[in-house]
Structure 1
Amino acid sequence: MRVSELAKKANVTSETVRHYTREGLIVAKRDPNNGYQLYDGVALQRIQFIQQARTLGFSLKQIDDIFQHADSGDSPCPMVRELLLQKVPETKAKIAELQAHLNTMEAALAVWDQMPNGTPDGHSICCLIEDWNHEEDGTTTTDTQEP
């Protein structure tokens, strides 16, 4: 398969195929007649694996490590389990951080609903942000003013 054929079968862009090739995640052979990169079924299988692993939050570097284990005949499954065990609490922390951020945004909107719009006057950019009291939403952000 050429790049475009592989991309179509894997439901990715041609640039994604090229990127994975540059990263060494998939391998192409060169057609001696025209120099085109040619891919086999293994490349398709690997791209499908990459897409599934990315959905689970694995980085390309981690996926490369998984491929290296598999290519050397070792089972990468224990490493995959360990990586995912580490990712779960990290993801929970990110969700909590995003939830706190969302709460802050919603609190700001509630406060701003009671405030009039202002016009920049050379001393103010947007009164909604500048006059908003961060403590009204219960968060502990610090209010710093730069000179």
Structure 2
Amino acid sequence: MKIGDLAKATNTPVETIRYYEREQLLPAPARTDGNYRIYDDEHTQRLGFIRRCRSLDMTLDEIRSLLKFRDAPQDDCGEVNQLLDDHIGHVASRIAELKMLEKQLKALRLQCGGPESASACGILQGLDTAALSPESFGQHAGHVHGTLHAPAKRAG
């Protein structure tokens, strides 16, 4: 099947498929005489595996490790268990950070009781104050934001 067919079959954008190939998560497909990529059922299954891992917020490095074991089914899966345990720990940490973020946002929301002029808005004033004094809304506010948008940078 061509890349567009694989994309439809797996509900994956074509550019994402190409990216996974560049990252060597998907093996290079065969090519036609016209240089079109031709994928088989193994590509479909592997891409489905990758997509399920990504839906669990696993990093590309974590997925590479899991694929290594998937490709060597005779190997002991102790490292797979450890990888998942580590990932669960990362998720638990992020949940704690998100709860702190929610608390900070709720405290900020309480700063404005209703529609007023922007110059009298307690939320805007609170954000200005927080910019000057981060501890007024917790020390981890920037850390939570960075974690949410860059999970691939996480060690492990």
TM range (shorter): 0.7 to 0.9
Shift of 1:17: 1.2
**Equivalent residue for 1:29?**
30
Shift of 1:80: 2.1
**Equivalent residue for 1:16?**
16
Distance 1:131 1:13, change over 3 A: closer
Structure 1 counterpart SS, 2:110? helix
Distance 1:83 1:60, change over 3 A: same
**Equivalent residue for 2:117?**
117
Once residues 15 and 125 of structure 2 are traced to their aligned partners in structure 1, the CA distance between those partners, rounded to angstroms, is 45
Structure 1 residue runs of 4+, over 4 Å off? 131-136
Runs of 5+ in structure 1 lacking a partner? Answer: 121-125, 142-147
**Equivalent residue for 2:51?**
51
- Residue 102 (str. 1) matches residue 114 (str. 2): no
Once residues 135 and 117 of structure 1 are traced to their aligned partners in structure 2, the CA distance between those partners, rounded to angstroms, is 27
Once residues 37 and 30 of structure 2 are traced to their aligned partners in structure 1, the CA distance between those partners, rounded to angstroms, is 6
RMSD after superposition? 2.9
Larger relative contact order (Cα-Cα within 8 Å, sequence gap ≥ 6): 2
Runs of 5+ in structure 2 lacking a partner? Answer: 140-156
The structure that has the greater radius of gyration is 1
| CA contact 1:3–1:37 (8 Å) conserved in 2 | yes
When normalised by structure 2's length, the TM-score is 0.71
When normalised by structure 1's length, the TM-score is 0.75
Shift of 1:71: 2.8
Letter in 2 for 1:77: C
Q: Deviations over 1:3-25 (max 9, x none)?
A: 10111111111111111111111
Distance 1:135 1:40, change over 3 A: closer
Shift of 1:91: 1.4
| CA contact 1:20–1:26 (8 Å) conserved in 2 | yes
Distance 1:118 1:11, change over 3 A: closer
Q: Percent identity?
A: 26
